[in-house]
Amino acid sequence: MIDEVEPMKGAHELLEELKQAEHTIILASSAEQKDAERYIDLLDAEEFVDAYTTSADVAATKPEPDIVNAAIQKAGGGTAVMIGDSTWDCKAATAASVPSIGVLTGGFSEQELTEAGASIVFDSVDHLRSHLHSTSLSATVENRK
């Protein structure tokens, strides 16, 4: 079904805004390399994504924390925030002691994402974009100044 995958509305713009705010962006995926590269191409995000993880980077995938830890390592360490739309994303972030932001685009409810560890949940990527200032992503930028 990879040929049917389409980027979410506002995803490219979110990555652009995060990059403008001087965030390091790592796509934390357990896909194979060719698929991860396809996702970046679909998002037209080559200039925004600093690196990405693949299944080759870890022994265990989400909900284990390996992907999140590999992404942090690829970012050079430091603080991190994960944006995810599945309970596995939020559980992996929690297991890696990383705050997560949930988005209701993966078929999970707000309650499920919150119970899995999301600190806040948004209806869509655009909803997240319009409230970035109220998330831990805003605090991360402030901490760099």
**pTM of this structure:** 0.90
Considering only the top CATH level, what class is 2-144?
A: alpha beta
For the chain of 145 residues, list the mean pLDDT of each consecutive stretch of 10.
83 95 94 93 95 95 96 95 97 97 96 98 97 81 43
**Closest-CA residue to 106 (of 90, 130, 129):** 90
Rounded to the nearest 10 degrees, how much is the dihedral formed by the CA atoms of 38, 94, 92, 11? Answer: -20
State the pLDDT at residue 143. Answer: 45
Supply the DSSP symbol for 103: E
Given a contact cutoff of 8 angstroms between Cβ atoms, the answer to whether 44 and 15 are in contact is no
**Closest-CA residue to 15 (of 34, 54, 41, 53):** 41
Give the bridge partners for 120, in sequence order.
101
State the pLDDT at residue 34. Answer: 94
